[in-house]
Structure 1
Amino acid sequence: MSYEVLARRWRPLTFDDVCGQQHVTRALRNAIRLERLPHALLLAGPRGVGKTTLARILARGLNCAQGPTEKPCGECDDCVRIAAGTSLDVQEIDAASNTGVDNVREIRDSVRYAAAPGKHRIFIIDEVHMLSQAAFNALLKTLEEPPPNSLFVLATTDPQKIPATVLSRVQRFDLKALGPAEAFERLRQIAAAEEIEIAEPVLRALARESAGSLRDALTLLDRLTSGLGSTIGEEEANAVLDLIDRRVLTEVVEPVLARDAAKALQAVRGALERGIEPSRLGAGVLEQLRDLIVARVVDDPGPLLDGSPEEVAELQERARPHAPETLQKLFRVLLSRIEDLTYAPRPDHVIEMAIARLATLPDAEEIGRLIARLDALGGDSPGPSGGGAPPGRPGPGRAPTQSAATAGAPPAAPPPPEG
């Protein structure tokens, strides 16, 4: 029996199941209910956020035996066939593999055939931005005036590559990447349903590493269960997925904040000896500095930080003694240094020197105290008469002033005449 990966097993079948895209599902449901669905849609967004899934749910809603409906039953013949990808009324085209004008002409010819009574012909074109310019031109007339009961759903991860002539003929919906909290909650629900015992920090790490793509997060979870079974601990997960334990990052960042360069470099060397790539270590330290800045300047940083309430409280406690300017300067300096990692012959040396630089930077508060002290010394220095600045050189066009010793002396007598 073949194994079905989690991303396919947990693909949403209704609008209610879609995670994190309420702004799009609400609009599509209203369009179905009010019978105001446009004939061409564009679903744009990052990979793995539900573009093709939404297109299939929309197709089921239109062709369901109880439809058109915003809540397809999932049990009638049409719903089952659409879910299995065998429906004759729903055609999916991969534009990345079918980029030419001939492929679009086949679609255009297929549009001429009417759907079954009461049904819709739906054409889902995935990665539509990969079509050639000639293919886009061949599609224009069909997009503008399709036959009755025909619907085009275009999906793309790069809408900037779609010609303006196409964009003007479709109604666009932008899907967003999932936030860490949304992805974590969905992963927690799926893990519980699959009877997977997994540590909470691992789920948060999966949500963070997936960068808002739930499909990527489920792929990582599949990778863990394949290697570790149904009981997954934090250390084992970090080893399998090459994740960086946040405690390792803390061991680097804390000496930097304490201006202990020796201890910071020892922590960097220890992280590199564990097999952590210099680029990943630099990105991890940069992320933790960002979290410290947020924890320092925001009263309620919980929604902006990826962590449990205890971890958020710990970040706030660590950030409190440090001025926001100091943390921001550390962030900027590290960002400028890690850009050299890509082309450096020894990236490990680059990250070591970057951390050493951070650990030897003066605090913003210390710089402020020095400036204030210099200002005070400059204002208190006495002049020749006990206060004020000493006399300077005369400016241009001004005669030098007489000294106090010569100001009251009589003028010198003129020399006697000759002869």
Structure 2
Amino acid sequence: MSYQALYRVWRPQTFADVVGQEHVTKTLQNALIRQKISHAYLFSGPRGTGKTSAAKIFAKAVNCEKAPISDPCNECETCRGIMDGSNTDVIEMDAASNNGVEEIRDIRDKVKFAPNSSTYKVYIIDEVHMLTTSAFNALLKTLEEPPKHVIFILATTEPHKLPLTVISRCQRFDFKRITAHDTIKRMKQIAKEAHLLFEEQAFEVIARAAEGGLRDALSLLDQAISFSQEKITLEDALTITGSVSQALLNKLAAAIYEQDLASALHSLEQLLMEGKDPTRFTEDFILYYRDMLLYQTAPNLDEALERVMLDEDFKTLAEKIPSEQLYTYIDILNKTQQDMRFSNQGQVYLEITIVKLCQIEVNKQTIEADQVQQLYAKIHELEKKIIELQERGVQSNTESKQISPKKTSRATKTFKPQIGKIREVLREATREELNKVKNSWGKMLERLNRSQAALLNDAEPVAASANGFVLKFKYDIHCQMAMDNQTFTKTMAEALQAITGNHYILLGVPEEQWLNIREEFIHQTKDQSSSGKNQEHEEVQEEDPVVAEAIKLVGSKLVEFKE
């Protein structure tokens, strides 16, 4: 066969060609130049990220006729022999098919012999985690102290399956997933040198479908070249990867947000008619909403986006849909994805999910109540700051002179309760009436909407008569907002009347003022009761001359009357 796959034709031949692994290649190059070469290396990382390619490049560099050198020349006889596989000193072994103890014992016996034509014998063992426990045990001693002319390079996608005794004998290098940006850059370079026509968006779709593996990306590119006519288009890339176009995702997401069920189901039917897999589509839709959530929080992190391309429709939709709704969408789709794994009716599950998403209702009252609570918290902070500023102003004479009387009066403005009506309620107040109002309080709150009930979070009834009751608020601003809202007071009075049968007049008072009013009322009541006794004493004083003389001598306070 004269044709070779792209990932084989464009396999890296120097460290500079290894894409996205600079942290590994730079370390290896420095070790080569300084001739600090270890006897064993462990290359771990996801598939298609360049582990085996880096191992072969390293094998060429240590055996290159121009060594010490940071990159192989690829021109000398040794480099060419390793490239075409004719050099017997570089042995590649697949541990998936040679995982027995006999194969490892064979290696252990042959490492003693010197290399034929190279400086080092290099053993590259791919998928080393597939070796059996006995094979690992047979390799341990040789891996720890091999002959000076032997280098082991172990490659694996699952390093957690390796015994710690093996890992501790190697220098470990972790290969990372290749970013979509680096993958696209590499595909553009290949397309340019191969004289291929392409749309840039097609490469973006392929890079995201490859999930960090450059070999997977080149395999998909190879498939797209075979599928396309003269130019690799976006539609070609969507077809071979099984992905959904951005335009259709935007259209479906807009229909769900607008609760247009007919349009949403029509878009879904169109996708399924094109042969899209329901499970793959659900995954794409989850990533779509995940990217939208990330875009709302960090619009500049383009590389963090897994699925979407930032077109105008996507940006417009991201500004409309609140983040709370996106959380709900992702939860529902995630549950659907789990249910579809255990069912053969993936399409039915997906259609039901679209209906659910279209019928989601955002509780506006909840949002409004949350906003009211946030507003209260901010007002409370401002009140504290105003009090602090006032205290500083009192302490500093210079600052107090600069503050005008008008501004001070505005800053210290407080709610003025109806003291006269409050006193009338206190005169006629009874414990029974207060208990009656308190027992009806919970049912009354249920009749109010959330924003109205939020005003009463820090309020409680403290006195009640047959005609009215006093409602104490913790903060002045809450009392002001409640008492100035005639609709609120009317609704509250009607709710209490429906429960208790009494029509109460609502009298609001802040907590600090309530303490003063209550104390004054108690003193006034005591004074009135004591004034009656004093009048009786005065009459006695006028009638009894002995008592009158005693008062003149010691004062009225020290005289006590006993009958």
Which TM class, normalised by the smaller chain length?
Answer: 0.7 to 0.9
Partner SS state of residue 155, structure 1: strand
Q: CA deviation at 1:274?
A: 2.2
- Give the Å deviation of 1:164: 1.0
The alignment-based identity, stated in percent, is: 35
Q: Contact 1:43–1:174 (CA<8 Å) still a contact in 2? A: yes
Change (3 A) 1:264 1:229: closer
Structure 1 residue identity aligned to 2:155 = A
Amino acid at match of 2:13: L
- Which residue pairs with 2:434 in the alignment? none
3-state SS, counterpart of residue 41 of structure 2:
strand
Q: CA deviation at 1:186?
A: 1.1
Could you tell me how far apart the structure 2 residues matched to 1:81 and 1:366 are?
75
The match for 1:75 is 75
Partner residue in 2 for 1:351: 350
Provide closer, same or farther for how the CA distance between residues 364 and 154 of structure 1 changes in structure 2, counting only shifts above 3 A.
farther
Counterpart Cα distance in 2 of 1:377 and 1:317: 36
Secondary structure at 2:339's aligned position in 1? coil
Moved more, 97-106 or 115-124: 115-124
Q: Which region of structure 1 is more displaced relative to structure 2, 20-29 or 291-300?
A: 291-300
1:121–1:285 Cα change, 3 Å: same
For 2:329, the equivalent position in structure 1 comes to: 330
1:309-328 to 2 correspondences below 5 Å:
311=310, 314-328=313-327
- Deviation, structure 1 residue 295: 1.1
- Give 1:75 shift: 0.5
Q: State the AA in 2 paired with 1:221.
A: L
* Aligned twin of 1:407: none
Structure 1 contact 289–331 (Cα < 8 Å) conserved: yes
TM-score by length of 1: 0.87
Query: How far apart are residue 176 of structure 1 and its match?
Result: 0.8
1:42 is paired with a residue of what secondary structure? strand
Q: In 1, Cα distance between the equivalents of 2:120 and 2:103? A: 21
Match of 2:531 in 1: none
Evaluate the alpha carbon distance shift between residue 374 and residue 118 of structure 1 in structure 2; reply closer, same or farther with a 3 A threshold: same
Answering whether residue 164 of structure 2 is matched by residue 88 of structure 1, we say no
Gaps of 5+ in 1: 393-419
Q: 1:234 aligns to what?
A: 234
Tell which deviates more after alignment, 208-217 or 234-243.
234-243
**Residue 258 (structure 1) aligned with residue 258 (structure 2):** yes
Distance 1:76 1:269, change over 3 A: same
Runs (4 or more) in structure 1 with deviation over 6 Å come to: none
Distance 1:118 1:240, change over 3 A: closer
- The answer to whether the aligner puts 1:33 opposite 2:33 as a matched pair is yes
Cα gap change, 1:14 to 1:365, in 2 (>3 Å):
farther
Structure 1, residues 345-400: CA drift from partner, whole Å, max 9, x if none?
Answer: 4211111111222222233766312665514236469965344498x9xxxxxxxx
Sort the Cα spacing of 1:202 and 1:387 in 2 relative to 1 into closer, same or farther, 3 A: farther
What CA distance in whole angstroms lies between the structure 1 residues aligned with 2:117 and 2:271?
Answer: 65
Query: How far did residue 73 of structure 1 move?
Result: 0.6
Where does residue 450 of structure 2 map in the other structure?
Answer: 374
CA spacing shift, 1:366–1:187, aligned 2, 3 Å = farther
Q: d(CA) in 1 for partners of 2:320 and 2:277?
A: 30
- In structure 2, the gaps of 5 or more residues are 373-448, 473-495, 500-563
Between 1:298-307 and 1:66-75, the stretch displaced more is 298-307
| Aligned partners of 1:338 and 1:354 also within 8 Å | no
Paired residues of 1:286 and 1:334 also in contact (CA < 8 A): yes
Equivalent runs, 1:102-181 vs 2, <5 Å: 102-116=102-116, 119-181=119-181
Letter matched to residue 369 of structure 1: E
1:111-150 deviation per Cα after TM superposition (whole angstroms, max 9, x unaligned): 1011258711110000000001000000000011010021
Normalised by the length of structure 2, the TM-score is 0.65
- Contact kept, 8 Å, 1:52 with 1:155, in 2: the verdict is yes
Contact kept? 1:296, 1:316, Cα under 8 Å? no
Residue identity matched to 2:172? R
Secondary structure at the residue paired with 1:339?
helix
Corresponding position: 1:220 with 2:296: no
Per the alignment, residue 530 of structure 2 pairs with none
Contact 1:48 1:216 in 2 (8 A): yes
Residue 413 of structure 1 is matched in structure 2 by none
Q: Which residue is 1:56 aligned to?
A: 56
Contact 2:180–2:303 (8 Å) recurs in 1: no
Give the SS at the match of 2:155. strand
8 Å CA contact 1:325–1:364 kept in 2: the answer is no
Contact 1:101 / 1:134 at 8 angstroms: preserved in 2?
Answer: yes
Q: Which residue of 2 is the match for residue 340 of structure 1?
A: 339
Q: Aligned residue for 1:6?
A: 6
User: Per residue, is there more helix in 1 or in 2?
Assistant: 2
Which deviates further from its counterpart, 373-382 or 111-120?
373-382
